[in-house]
């Protein structure tokens, strides 16, 4: 497999076989759905999904720019294409939900949360950020953006969002 685990030494950010076994069905189902939804023409994929996900995890872990992706991985353009599509299609959200449910089951809890805590944070922005994309946290006297999250007791992020700057209302209610 080009760029696969068998042709190179693994990086610390690469998935173990056990972790790959958890996420592989979701990614394979996504690729099959894309193949069926397409016009039925075009060449078959040249890179396996595991090497693409390993490359995404490498960029996430190291903070390296996409263009600096090591040559052992598929081309950075291919990796970024998959990253953008998976983000747009909600694949990362599906994987996050799957892993959260597995953690909760392992802890002996119900797979779906029944309560949540909402936390928010004000983040300062640079002077070069357009004023239309920022707001003011009057209580903290911070000009910037607000982000909110809903962590679970085991530390997993259940939901994250950034309300628009002009939003004066509370974050969306939990759909627990």
127-137 pLDDT, tens digit per residue, is 787 877 777 77
Reply yes or no on whether the pLDDT at 174 is more than 80. Answer: no
Predicted confidence at residue 161, as pLDDT, reads: 53
Predicted confidence at residue 48, as pLDDT, reads: 93
Reply yes or no on whether the pLDDT at 153 is more than 60. Answer: yes
Which of 4-8, 49-53, 130-134 shows the lowest mean pLDDT across its residues?
A: 4-8
Distance CA 16, CA 32 (A): 23
Determine if the pTM surpasses 0.75. no
Predicted confidence at residue 130, as pLDDT, reads: 80
Mean pLDDT, residues 150-162 taken together: 60
Reply yes or no on whether the pLDDT at 54 is more than 80. Answer: yes
Residues 6+ apart with CB under 8 A from 74: 2, 3, 46, 47, 51, 52, 55
Considering 50-54, 130-134, 140-144, the range whose residues carry the highest mean pLDDT is 50-54
């Amino acid at each position: 497999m080009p760029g696969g685990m068998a042709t190179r030494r693994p990086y610390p950010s690469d998935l173990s076989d056990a972790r790959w076994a958890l996420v592989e069905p979701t990614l394979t189902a996504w690729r099959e759905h894309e193949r069926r939804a397409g016009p039925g023409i075009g060449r078959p994929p040249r890179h396996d999904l595991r090497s693409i996900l390993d490359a995404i995890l490498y960029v996430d872990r190291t903070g390296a720019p996409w263009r600096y992706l090591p040559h052992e991985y598929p081309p950075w353009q291919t990796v970024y294409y998959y990253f953008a599509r998976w983000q747009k299609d909600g694949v990362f959200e599906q994987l996050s939900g799957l892993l959260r449910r597995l953690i909760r089951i392992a802890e002996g809890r119900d797979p779906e949360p029944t309560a949540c805590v909402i936390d928010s944070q004000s983040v300062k922005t640079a002077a070069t950020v357009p004023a239309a994309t920022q707001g003011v946290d009057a209580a903290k006297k911070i000009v910037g953006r607000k982000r909110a999250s809903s962590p679970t007791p085991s530390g997993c992020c259940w939901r994250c969002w950034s309300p628009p700057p002009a939003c004066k209302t509370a974050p969306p209610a939990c759909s627990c």
